[in-house]
Structure 1
């Protein structure tokens, strides 16, 4: 047994021998998020989604009161995330965990979830294999495969048979390469070039030159939300690659939070994603209205706030099933196969993979009431996580 496993075992013994410090009928949820630094947008949006759910439910599930304890991961820091998860479960006696914005941080929670049987609802991690690391993991966001496959299907159906793949060089970027290239080849297309861009890049000129030299019909892009997304899209337009006949297609890169920085360079850009605040369903319109009422008329919900809002819905169902008691196995059994109508559309939890089954929307950046936004123009319904469909033996 490693030192870390020994420490965890001792902490688990403390956890299960000591009485809970929370008052009777209180169920605690631990929120792990980025509340400081360049990716603090994630933490803010998670908190907003959680708080909106608590407002609407009055913080109650039957006779139980939901309390959320938030902690700052402080960047891509697996060691810190693991420590925070341990403290939340052992010291703060949370029954459920939610959050993280990066794959390494999500993976760091596996030991804690496994040894304490604590359900962990992952807010964001695009790497498909993550949920195979613990039977107590549930993904509330999306994988890069989930949105990449429909994007390629859409591109090919609209005449793009040759594409350059441009990704940020980290784990979800490799998933994007695999998903884009595998799907493109299956549909009879060709990969003109694969371009990996180091994280933190601000000058994209050499990478765009490689794209230009490859002469593809399209570019399939993956960049993390934030400066790299905005920088690449603006550089692509400034270099005139769109005018040379190359179509840029992406996924999360035109988040409403990034569109002001990108500006009109984003107009017309088409992306594939599982949510848009401009969905016209009654559930989403009610969600957007409530979000604006709470956070201001210019506030716009996002994939992060929707993930948090839906995660709290799942937690509430698990609390009902366990009558507020800590029972990770019963809670997970309740979540498997759970179906409801989310602001993002009809969703369910795949009982085999614990991945969320959801619509993927093709969105186009337009000016909507004078503001840049992603308007849905096509729908791929009830998309099951494609990587697990191709790798069924990896499910834990």
Structure 2
């Protein structure tokens, strides 16, 4: 009797979390809210779903003895559709966490809903800094990058290389506008000038008039504050117009591995970019990426890698918290270390921003590429303090002493 009682006490001491585990609906459910067929489908979409599923398999498919389920939906880059899906997930289907959410307008709409419903959202595809500033949430985690990070890495490098006058082609929604503003601030601080800008609709097919306006500005650099197919189409048509041959340079504020693959090295060579990860960085990233390629036919974009890391960290936090309760999981996410193969020096701040080492990369010349998808040369590591909005300037109510 005494031995049995003692054994029970020891088990309770060894496994207190398991003994108190509370999982709503007896399943941990994760929703990948993404773009399955639109302008960013190659860099998010199916790959984001695969990345989330790989993270779940990596932790054994269960947490706290309960199964982990992953579902997915396409928000079509429309805030009303995205919030409708999320509301259905939260209210009816019991989704505990949402991940990815490319498109800053959709992400900001989801942020408000998730705050109201007390559900975790892990942003990999969205870029607006508002997610961790004015519209921050205790349940919102900005995992992979933001416009501040990519603009500071890329714009500063181009200005230092002599690109002192700029003209912007910017996507006409929250992401593009913020990206242009952040890059413009960097350019001005480095002694450069922005001569003008034009805005184009999302998913534009014809950039001719925008490019002609940029060409006539006489700017040394035409900055592309857009993403996905918009960046690809703009760069293709700029090449057709002979803009680079005419003496102007292109600078893509955000450029992905898949974009370069579509463009080809001949058209993209020499372009600087800032990335949160690269598949070919080391043995660990190559091993993981090989598994991803077997399922998708391509290496992961930094957004795919972000979805994987975010889901993995979320599940570890659920295990630590002993519950899927959003308040306790959010606290655990800030306490435990971030340790996936794509995250270096990564931590989760009060405002929901994950700070991490990022990389300034240059697209290789065709003759420099030695094997398939060997597209980036890593120029330098960028420490976290250079690519995150300073907390001293934060407008997030969660940050003590934040400016209002």
TM-score by length of 1: 0.85
**In 2, distance between residues paired with 1:389 and 1:189?**
26
Closer/same/farther in 2, CA of residues 85 and 277 from structure 1, 3 Å limit: same
Helix, strand or coil at the partner of 1:160: coil
Helix, strand or coil at the partner of 1:265: helix
Structure 1 residues 385-394 or 269-278, which shifts more?
385-394
The structure that is strand-richer by fraction is 1
Deviation at 1:133, TM superposition (A): 4.0
Of 28, 32, 46, which residue of structure 2 is paired with 1:44?
46
- Answer with 1 or 2: which has the greater Rg: 2
**In 1, distance between residues paired with 2:187 and 2:304?**
32
Counterpart position of 2:181: 178
Counterpart position of 2:348: 350
Does residue 143 of the first structure (1) align with residue 142 of the second (2)?
Answer: no
Helix, strand or coil at the partner of 2:356: strand
Q: Does the CA-based 8 Å contact 1:272-1:362 persist in structure 2? A: yes
CA deviations on 1:195-225 (whole Å, 9 max, x unpaired) are: 3223233222222222222222222222221
Counterpart position of 2:306: 307
Counterpart position of 2:317: 318
Structure 1 residues 33-42 or 113-122, which shifts more?
33-42
**In 2, distance between residues paired with 1:193 and 1:37?**
29
Deviation at 1:128, TM superposition (A): 0.6
**In 2, distance between residues paired with 1:96 and 1:359?**
25
Counterpart position of 1:230: 232
Closer/same/farther in 2, CA of residues 112 and 171 from structure 1, 3 Å limit: closer
Does residue 160 of the first structure (1) align with residue 163 of the second (2)?
Answer: yes
**In 2, distance between residues paired with 1:142 and 1:341?**
17
Deviation at 1:232, TM superposition (A): 0.9
Q: Does the CA-based 8 Å contact 1:152-1:180 persist in structure 2? A: yes
Of 195, 211, 214, which residue of structure 1 is paired with 2:214?
211
Closer/same/farther in 2, CA of residues 316 and 302 from structure 1, 3 Å limit: same
Does residue 244 of the first structure (1) align with residue 243 of the second (2)?
Answer: no
Q: Does the CA-based 8 Å contact 2:362-2:378 persist in structure 1? A: yes
Deviation at 1:21, TM superposition (A): 7.7
CA deviations on 1:129-161 (whole Å, 9 max, x unpaired) are: 023342211012211111101212212222222
Closer/same/farther in 2, CA of residues 164 and 351 from structure 1, 3 Å limit: same
Helix, strand or coil at the partner of 2:239: helix
**In 1, distance between residues paired with 2:228 and 2:89?**
28
Does residue 194 of the first structure (1) align with residue 197 of the second (2)?
Answer: yes
Counterpart position of 1:276: 278
- Counterparts of residues 29-68 of structure 1 (less than 5 Å): 29-37=30-38, 39-41=40-42, 42-68=44-70
**In 1, distance between residues paired with 2:39 and 2:152?**
29
Counterpart position of 2:13: none
Counterpart position of 2:384: 382
Q: Does the CA-based 8 Å contact 2:150-2:254 persist in structure 1? A: no
Deviation at 1:37, TM superposition (A): 4.6
**In 2, distance between residues paired with 1:346 and 1:231?**
33
In structure 1, stretches of 5+ residues that fail to align are: 1-18
CA RMSD of aligned residues (A): 2.5
Counterpart position of 2:71: 69
Counterpart position of 1:336: 334
**In 2, distance between residues paired with 1:54 and 1:326?**
15
Helix, strand or coil at the partner of 2:80: helix
In structure 2, stretches of 5+ residues that fail to align are: 1-21, 399-404
**In 1, distance between residues paired with 2:341 and 2:395?**
32
Q: Does the CA-based 8 Å contact 1:353-1:388 persist in structure 2? A: no
**In 2, distance between residues paired with 1:123 and 1:188?**
32
Closer/same/farther in 2, CA of residues 95 and 199 from structure 1, 3 Å limit: closer
Counterpart position of 1:8: none
Helix, strand or coil at the partner of 1:216: coil
Counterpart position of 1:92: 93
Counterpart position of 1:9: none
**In 1, distance between residues paired with 2:117 and 2:258?**
36
Aligned residues: 369
Deviation at 1:355, TM superposition (A): 0.8
**In 1, distance between residues paired with 2:95 and 2:307?**
16
Counterpart position of 1:266: 268
